[in-house]
C-alpha cells in the first residue's frame, strides 16, 4: 500500500503555542494523491529550517515502504503562513555568555552627555561581567576601566553594583584559597 505525504504549514492552536510556537509544520499521510490525509507528525517552528527538515522527513517516510518505487514524487510546496517578526531592542551594552567572551580592559560605553545614558543597561552589563569574573585581578581591571561609570551611575544601581562587586571579591579570594 502506497502512502502519499503532504506538508502543510498552519497556525498553531492556542493551546499548543507554548509547545510549538506560532506556526507548525504538519505532515499528513494519504493513500491517494491529493486525498484527505491523516496527520503523521507535527514539527515545531523551533527547527532552524522547517521546510527543508519537513521535505527530508517526507523523503525518509517514503522509503519506509519497501514496495514503493524509488522515484518518489517531490513533496508539494509548503504554504507560507505570515508570521509577525519579533524585534529585539538592541542596546549598546552586550551581555557576554562566557568568561572567554569578556575583555576585562574594555570600558563600557558612556555617551558624552551622561544624562542620556541607559543606566539600567549599563548596570546589567557591568553586573554580568562581575558575575563572570574568576579572579580578583579581573574584577580590579573591570573596576579600574569603568570607575568613571561607577561614580556617575545613579545610586539605585551603584549600591547594588557595589555590594555585588564586594561579594565577588570575597568569593574569588575564597576560590583562590581553596
Q: What would the grid cell of residue 96 be?
A: 557576554
Mean pLDDT in each 10-residue stretch from start to end of the chain (178 residues)?
67 67 70 71 62 69 55 54 53 71 83 85 90 88 91 90 90 70
At residue 70, the pLDDT reads: 44
Q: Supply the DSSP symbol for 23.
A: E
Question: How many other CB atoms sit within 10 Å of the CB of residue 86?
Answer: 6
pLDDT digits (tens, 9 = 90+) for 79-127: 555 555 555 555 566 777 777 777 888 888 888 888 888 889 899 999 9
**Nearest residue to 4 via CA among 43, 33, 39:** 33
Per the DSSP assignment, residues forming a β-bridge with 24 are 10
Give CA 155 to chain center in angstroms. 32
Q: What would the grid cell of residue 79 be?
A: 504554504
At residue 61, the pLDDT reads: 65
pTM of the predicted protein model: 0.47
At residue 112, the pLDDT reads: 83
Tell me whether residue 123 is exposed, middle or buried, using C-beta atoms within 10 angstroms of its C-beta: 0 to 12, 13 to 18, 19 or more: buried
At residue 141, the pLDDT reads: 92
Amino acid at each position: 500500500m502506497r502512502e502519499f505525504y503532504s506538508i502543510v504549514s498552519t497556525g498553531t492552536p492556542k493551546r499548543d503555542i507554548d509547545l510549538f510556537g506560532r506556526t507548525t509544520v504538519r505532515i499528513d499521510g494519504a493513500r491517494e494523491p491529493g486525498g484527505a490525509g491523516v496527520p503523521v507528525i507535527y514539527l515545531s517552528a523551533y527547527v532552524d529550517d522547517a521546510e527543508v527538515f519537513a521535505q527530508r522527513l517526507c523523503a525518509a517516510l517514503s522509503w519506509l515502504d519497501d514496495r514503493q518505487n524509488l522515484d518518489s514524487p517531490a513533496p508539494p510546496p509548503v504554504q507560507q503562513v505570515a508570521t509577525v517578526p519579533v524585534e529585539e531592542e538592541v542596546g549598546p551594552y552586550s551581555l557576554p555568555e562566557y568568561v572567554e567572551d569578556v575583555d576585562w580592559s574594555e570600558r563600557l560605553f558612556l555617551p558624552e552627555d551622561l544624562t542620556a545614558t541607559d543606566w539600567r543597561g549599563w548596570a546589567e552589563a557591568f553586573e554580568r561581567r562581575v558575575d563572570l569574573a574568576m579572579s580578583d585581578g579581573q574584577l580590579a581591571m573591570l573596576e579600574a576601566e569603568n570607575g568613571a561609570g561607577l561614580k556617575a551611575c545613579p545610586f539605585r544601581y551603584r549600591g547594588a553594583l557595589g555590594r555585588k562587586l564586594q561579594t565577588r571579591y570575597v568569593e574569588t579570594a575564597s576560590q583562590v584559597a581553596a
